[in-house]
Amino acid sequence: MEISVALRRTKGFYEAVCALNTLQTNVSVLDQVRRERSELPELQLQAMQGFLHRTGLTVVKLDHLNIIHVTGTKGKGSTCAFTERILRDYGFRTGFYSSPHLVQVRERIRINGQPISKELFTKYFWEVFAQLDATKDSHGVSMPAYFRFLTILAFHVFLQERVDLAVIEVGIGGAYDCTNIIRKPWVCGISSLGIDHTSILGDTIEEIAWQKAGIFKPGVPVFTVKQPDRSMTVLQDRAKEIGCPLLVCPDLEQYESGPGPLSLGLAGQQQRCNASLALQLSKTWLQRYRQSDDQLAAPVVENRLVSQATAFKPSPIMVKGLEATEWPGRTQTLRHGPVTYYLDGAHTTGSMQACVHWFSQEIQQEESSNRGPVIRVLLFNATGERDSAAMLKLLEPCRFDFAVFCPNITETITENNADQQNFNVSVENMLTRCLDNQISWQSLSGTETKQGSESELLIKDRLPLLAKTRTHTLVFPCILSALQWITQGRDAVLATAGSPYLPVQPSVTVKAEPLREAAQVSVLVTGSLHLVGGALKYLDPSLAS
């Protein structure tokens, strides 16, 4: 279209990201959108079909992407990362769509494991945006919301770039998620189920399992990790209703791995079930690829709808793929001189339990090799309807010396972080949530509030933002200011990030003396993937380049 050509000539990557941000749901109408989604959820997929048609795509074209569709409450992104890496190592050209992004929005759409380039993102963004913008009036509707648009963009990119397969991670739920426009995936997967997004998916594990099972398709094999009995019953009923084989993955230890256990590129005990799921998804996809189109895609044990998947001996390529998998922000460790960061985007009680187990093991090993005092710091934030108090209760036994809270704002100059802007919640609400988290932590740890300890953190020539300092706890207005205070200039990577040090009150500086004198500072960043992504923007500059 001519309008598309004109837009591509005049607008670049930064303008594309800014235009994309206009599709975020404004705070004032977000509640209305949630109500509509809960009242008429089936209309969501009808609307998605309309948006898809306006861009020139059809569900029939999506059939050519040879899709692996994965849902779950926790571990679905890691499962996708394992699966994509294995199949890429087999020599296939892979597409991988995931959410959310950590630093740059183009991370959500990957070709051969790498985020698409700024040039490709810009090119394909304006092609899709222009077609939707040009047809919105004639259809009597507006532009698609943020996640819908990115899903359409991912499909467009994968088709244009002629990938051999696409690994698609569900956004929220499954049944009415916009990725469920897919008609004929080659295989589906379900990672561990738990309670999350209750305002959309329901308050019980049975309701959530029903939603997740919405991605089942007739005749398409589904693999699941072991689930609680109530969840598994729902999955079995849905598989029977829809008419698809459901197979339960074996423990990773059951696979024939040679002289030693399988080694994983992602740390944490919880990754072992994700790796088993990835092995089953990869093997089934490869079987389908090697068969003619009219053959069944996966083995069905004893011709039953629910079966135990068979453990097998992974090929050398599979073993290498599992070991080489990288998935930043999930059980990730970064060592910067005397400061070690432990980053995990855990944001449910289930995933936080796994995070605490991983962190406890890592910190014990780290401290045993250190000579001198070690200071433990928690950097935490949680968003939405997540139960912050429950997650903090799980973290309390880790014996942190400092608990630091901040919103998911990278820095107070918004024009420097277009990729990480969030219009779905106000700054005031974000800061209030941080202060509530601080109070919860003080209650859990038995910390007494000192009289007159409240202070105001003023950042020169910018908005006055609140920071309340109490014994062992602090609240900062942004991620950068929190990291700068925690590290006290001892992290060379952070010191060279190019951002000025944000001044704090003298009393807050005095409080940091143990951080300056410790032999080692260990920082756990958790509670939100957006928080982890904001931290990685400064701690791993390659992600922001």
pLDDT digits (tens, 9 = 90+) for 266-303: 999 999 999 999 999 999 999 999 985 444 444 444 44
| pLDDT on residue 42 | 72
387 is in an annotated binding site: no
330 is in an annotated binding site: yes
Q: What angle do CA 499, 500, 505 make, to 5 degrees?
A: 135
Contacts 24+ apart (CB under 8 A), 501-506: 502/412, 502/459, 502/478, 503/458, 503/459, 503/460, 504/457, 504/467, 505/455, 505/456, 505/457, 505/469
Q: CA 354, CA 331: separation in Å to the nearest integer?
A: 9
| pLDDT on residue 456 | 42
| pLDDT on residue 201 | 58
pLDDT in tens, 173-198: 888 899 999 999 999 999 999 865 55
Q: Which residue has the higher pLDDT, 201 or 492?
A: 492
Q: How far is CA 428 from the centre of its chain?
A: 24
The torsion angles phi and psi of 403, rounded to 5 degrees, stand at -120, 120
Of 361, 251, 236, give the one whose Cα is nearest residue 311.
251
**Mean pLDDT of the region 243-247:** 96
Out of 2.30.110.10, 3.90.1150.10, 3.90.190.20, 3.40.630.10, the CATH code matching 332-446+468-543 is: 3.90.190.20
pLDDT of 317 higher than 50: yes
| pLDDT on residue 77 | 95
Residue entry with tokens 């032999």: 519
Of 249, 187, 248, 250, give the one whose Cα is nearest residue 215.
187
Q: How is the beta sheet containing 339-344 ordered, strand by strand?
A: 332-336, 339-344, 520-526, 374-380, 402-405, 473-475, 464-470, 454-458
Residue entry with tokens 């045993």: 368
Dihedral sign (CA 226, 227, 230, 232) = negative
Q: Which residues contact 65 (CB under 8 A, 6 or more apart)?
A: 95, 155, 158, 159, 163, 165, 166
Which range, 21-35, 121-135, 197-211, is most confident? 121-135
**Rg for the chain (alpha carbons), in Å?**
24
Q: Report the first-to-last Cα separation within the chain, whole angstroms.
A: 32
What are the DSSP E strand ranges found in 256-373?
306-308, 332-336, 339-344
Choice among 14-28, 242-256, 348-362 with the minimum mean pLDDT = 14-28
Q: CA 165, CA 285: separation in Å to the nearest integer?
A: 9
CB 100 within 8 A of CB 347: no
| Run of H or E including 69 | strand 67-71
The amino acid occupying position 76 is K
344 is in an annotated binding site: yes
Q: CA 269, CA 266: separation in Å to the nearest integer?
A: 9
| pLDDT on residue 299 | 44
39 is in an annotated binding site: no
Q: Which residue has the higher pLDDT, 259 or 242?
A: 242
Q: Which residue has the higher pLDDT, 52 or 173?
A: 52
Residues in the chain: 545
Indicate the pLDDT class of residue 453, thresholds 50, 70 and 90: very low
Percent of the chain with pLDDT over 70: 82
pTM for the complete prediction? 0.88
Q: Which residues contact 2 (CB under 8 A, 6 or more apart)?
A: none
| pLDDT on residue 39 | 52
pLDDT of 204 higher than 70: yes
Indicate the pLDDT class of residue 209, thresholds 50, 70 and 90: very high
User: Got the DSSP string for 447-469?
Assistant: PPPPTT-EEEEE-TTS-EEEEEE
Q: What are the residue ranges of CATH 3.40.1190.10 in the chain?
A: 1-324
Q: Which residues contact 452 (CB under 8 A, 6 or more apart)?
A: none
Q: CA 497, CA 539: separation in Å to the nearest integer?
A: 8
**Mean pLDDT of the region 293-322:** 73
Dihedral sign (CA 19, 20, 21, 27) = positive
Q: CA 496, CA 534: separation in Å to the nearest integer?
A: 16
Q: For the chain, what is the mean pLDDT? A: 85
| Run of H or E including 111 | strand 109-111
| Run of H or E including 265 | none
| Protein fold of 1-324 | UDP-N-acetylmuramoyl-L-alanine:D-glutamate ligase (3.40.1190)
CB 480 within 8 A of CB 538: yes
Cβ atoms < 10 Å from Cβ of 365? 9
Q: What are the residue ranges of CATH 3.90.190.20 in the chain?
A: 332-446+468-543
pLDDT of 137 higher than 70: yes
pLDDT in tens, 1-16: 344 444 444 579 999 9
Which of left, alpha, beta for 122 (phi over 0: left; psi -120 to 50: alpha)?
alpha
Of 188, 187, 186, give the one whose Cα is nearest residue 212.
188
Pairing of strands 109-111, 94-97: antiparallel
The runs of H, that is alpha helices, within 55-117 are: 59-62, 76-89
The runs of H, that is alpha helices, within 338-409 are: 349-368, 388-395
Partnered with residue 454 across adjacent β-strands are 468
Indicate the pLDDT class of residue 138, thresholds 50, 70 and 90: low
pLDDT in tens, 85-117: 999 999 999 999 999 999 999 999 999 999 999
177 is in an annotated binding site: no
Choice among 22-36, 181-195, 205-219 with the minimum mean pLDDT = 22-36
